[in-house]
Structure formats: structure tokens, C-alpha cells
Amino acid sequence: MEFLIYGYFAGLALGFALLWFAGGWVIKYSVKTAHLFHVTTLFIGFFLVAMATSLPELAVIFIAAMKNAHEISVGTIIGSLLADIGFALAITSFFVKSISVSKKDSRNMTAMLVVSTVIMIFVFYFQNLNNLIGLFLVLIYFVLVWWIWRDQATLKEAIQTKEEVLTVVNSDRRRKFFWVSKPGILIKLFASLAVMFFASEIIVRFIIEIADYFLYSRHIIGATISGLGTSLPELTLGISAVRKKELPLALGNIIGSVLGEATFLLGAAVLVSPTIVNLKELNTLIPFLFLTLGITIYALVKNNAFKRIHGILVFIIFIVFMVFHLFFLN
């Protein structure tokens, strides 16, 4: 039996490794595809890139739904929301003294975090989430996308920054090789998506095995191990942005992901679930989640920045959260 559990963890590690690489490929080829087909900059700059960084969570949602394991998908989303700040943003902040943004960007990001916090209060208050609530969360996401990005001048600047950091623009358009043509890019995009969904299949399968072996709640294993693993794209992009001195992107992308998880992804998970989603087993996340969100909101309101000290604080909270749920709660 001990040999089996080592195999489960090895399989889970393989799944997360594939998810890491496939997530990066999907972002890269999604934006290249948008350029090749002359998709609007609005679609490229916010909607496409923001959604691409959340595709690992989305893949887990649908794979878990097919396996009738919605507990894993919901746990993954809320756990990833916590990990995006407590893990990805915290580690990103270790590379600089302060991740500073303009007052206008700070107001927008604060509004996104406040909305995310209010929604989390709302869903934990009701506990039982049905399809109507799921649809409501999805609609909130698209309304907020329109509201936040209605300023076209700011949008274009953000788009240019994202393109530079991701380095996904084809710099040599004179080349006529098949793999840089439209069919070639599309093939690589769909192949990357296939790898990502295959990785999600592996992750969900071994998470179920590990949860059953240790008698863990599927909600909790999703919120801890799966939530951490699916936050890797945000960590990668955040570190890349800091290295290129694009600090607003490092902060904005992660906060945008938090908003997407609290609205669109959670709503999607509820909509595809065949039964009402109950959050009772995730109530132990409440103090860690709201403390982390509160520190981040305070940092932006007080300083228009997320400083290293804030990163240290939320990282400690995240470590305590992981240790408590994996070693003491069970």
C-alpha cells in the first residue's frame, strides 16, 4: 500500500508538471492566434490572456464534472483564489521591495478585490449554491470585464505590456514555415489544450486516489494541493513581469485571476454540477481567505502598492493554511 501512495504522488507531480508547461503554451499560442486572425486588442489584452491563465482551473472543473467529483472543482477554485495571493503574489513580491501601481490602477484593483470578497461572503453565507447562483456569478464577471476595461487608452497600454512580458508576438513575420503559419499555430494551440486537459485528467484522478487513501475530504484536497498547483501560471507570469520591471502587470494579472475565480470559474463549477454545491466542508478556509484578502486590500488602499512585508504576511498565512488542513484537520 505504501508503494501505491508513492505512485499516486508521482502521478500527481507529473500532472502538475504537464499542466505548468501546457498552460504556458496555451497562453502563448492563444495570443499568437489572435494576432494572426486580427482579433481585436480588447479580446487579446484582457479577456484572452486573463482567461488563458485560468484555463488550468477550468480544465479541472470539466474533468471533475465528468467524474462526478464537483467537490474537487469547487475546492480547487477557492483554494486557487487563496493560493494566487498567498503563494503566487507573495513569492512574486519577494523579488522586489514593492509592487507599486498608479492610483487609478490601485482603485480598479481594490474594487476587484472588494467585489471578490463580497462574493465570497455571499457564497459562504448561503452555503448551498444552485444553478441560478452559478449563472449570477458568471454574469457578474462579464459585467465587471466591461466596466473595468471601458477606458480604451489604459487598455491599449496594458495590452502592450502583456504582449511584451509574454513575448508571444511573432517577431519574424517574413518566415513562411508551416509552424508559424495560421494552420501551424492552430495545431500547436489545440495540441497544447489537449495536453492541458490530459494533465487535468491525471490530476483529478490522483487527487481522488490520495483523498480516498488518507480519508481526506475531496473539498480540502482540492483546496490545498490542487489549488496550489493550478496557481502556477499566475506565479510564472508574475515573476516574468517583475523581471521585466512591469510591476503593474505582476499585480494586476493575479488580482484579475482572483476576480475570475470568484465569479466566472466558481459560477461555471456550480453550473456544470449535477447537484446543489454545498460549501460546508470549506468553512475552515474562511479565516485564512478573508485575512489574506483583507491584507491585500489594505496594502492597495494605504500604499497603492503590495510591499514585500505584505507578501511575507500572506505567505505565512498560506503556509499555516496548508499545514493545518493537510496535517491537523484530518
Locate the domains of the chain by residue range: 2-165+179-328
Distances (CA, A) of 109 to 173, 223, 259: 36, 24, 10
8 A C-beta contact, residue 259 and residue 118: no
Placement of cell 504556458 in the chain: 24
Query: What are 194-211's pLDDT values in tens digits?
Result: 887 788 778 877 887 887
Q: What is the pLDDT of residue 157?
A: 47
User: What gap in Å lies between CA 104 and CA 110, rounded to an integer?
Assistant: 10
Q: What is the CATH number of domain 2-165+179-328?
A: 1.20.1420.30
Query: What are 41-100's pLDDT values in tens digits?
Result: 444 444 555 566 676 777 777 777 777 777 888 888 999 999 999 999 999 999 888 888
Helix axes 2-36, 152-166, angle to 10 degrees: 120
Low-confidence ranges of the chain (pLDDT < 50): 40-46, 152-166, 168-175
User: What gap in Å lies between CA 326 and CA 320, rounded to an integer?
Assistant: 10
User: What gap in Å lies between CA 65 and CA 59, rounded to an integer?
Assistant: 10
Residues in the chain: 330
Q: What is the pLDDT of residue 267?
A: 93
Q: What is the pTM of this model?
A: 0.77
User: What gap in Å lies between CA 187 and CA 185, rounded to an integer?
Assistant: 5
Q: What is the pLDDT of residue 155?
A: 44
User: What gap in Å lies between CA 302 and CA 19, rounded to an integer?
Assistant: 36
Distances (CA, A) of 277 to 4, 33, 126, 157: 31, 36, 11, 40
Q: What is the pLDDT of residue 154?
A: 45
Q: What is the pLDDT of residue 319?
A: 96
Q: What is the pLDDT of residue 151?
A: 53
For strand 128-129 and strand 277-278, is the pairing parallel, antiparallel, or unpaired?
antiparallel
